[in-house]
Amino acid sequence: MSTDAIVLLKVDHKEIKAAFKQFQDAGDRAFSAKGKAREKIIELLTVHTYLENEVMYPEVRGLLPDLTDEILESYEEHHVADLLAVELAVLAPDAERFTAKTTVLIENVSHHIEEEEEDWFPKVRERLGRRQLAEIGERLLEAREKAPHSPAQPSALKKSIDAVLR
């Protein structure tokens, strides 16, 4: 299996987008299905943003400092997603704002994923060697072992607090 960092992160993106589709395909009043899709979305996003915040972004920033603006913007986009995820985690699926909040989360994250995949990951691919991307990928796989799965876990909260204070 490839340990190329960009390949691994794109696999995550695919899974996240599949969970978005699961939500969007659920009927308007299919509250149980929408609630389940919400759980899946939040779990996948919590793991994925942790991996990018803890490994991918700092590694890339260190190696390619001229991508700092893109990376700082990405941290902020993760932070917005974290806030929405925390709010969404406690909403009942039949609450008035549930679908609206989930839709805004989906729109924000879809835009963010598109920027990563179309805009700055290609620059990273162009400028880092295969070996460097494989090494970052190894570290992503290690970090996945200890990644939080819920926004209420301390390591997920720490990541949100760091995003505000750093």
Measured from the CB atom, the residue of 59 and 116 that comes closer to Fe ion is 116
Single out the segment in contact with Fe ion by CB under 5 A; choices: 26-34, 47-55, 99-107, 137-145. Answer: 47-55
Nearer to Fe ion, 36 or 79 (CB): 79
Among 52, 54, 70, 82, binds Fe ion (CB under 5 A): 52
CB of 136 to Fe ion, least distance (A): 13
Q: Can you tell me the distance from the alpha carbon of 91 to that of 70, in angstroms, rounded to the nearest whole number?
A: 32
Question: Smallest gap, in angstroms, from Cβ of residue 52 to Fe ion?
Answer: 5
d(CA 95, CA 74): 30
CA distance readout (Å), 44 to 48, 70, 109, 119, 134: 6, 22, 12, 22, 22
User: In angstroms, what is the minimal distance from the CB of 37 to Fe ion?
Assistant: 19
Nearer to Fe ion, 30 or 125 (CB): 125
Least distance to Fe ion, CB of residue 113, Å: 6
Triad 53, 55, 58: Cα angle to 5°: 75
User: Are the C-beta atoms of 161 and 57 separated by less than 8 Å?
Assistant: no
CA 73 → CA 4, 21, 109, 144, 165, distances in Å? 23, 26, 13, 23, 15
Cβ proximity to Fe ion: between 23 and 121 the closer is 121
Eight-class DSSP state of 136: H
Residues 101-120 that bind Fe ion (CB under 5 A): 116
- Residue closer to Fe ion, measured from CB, 70 or 116: 116
Please give the residue ranges that form the binding site for Fe ion (CB under 5 A): 52, 116
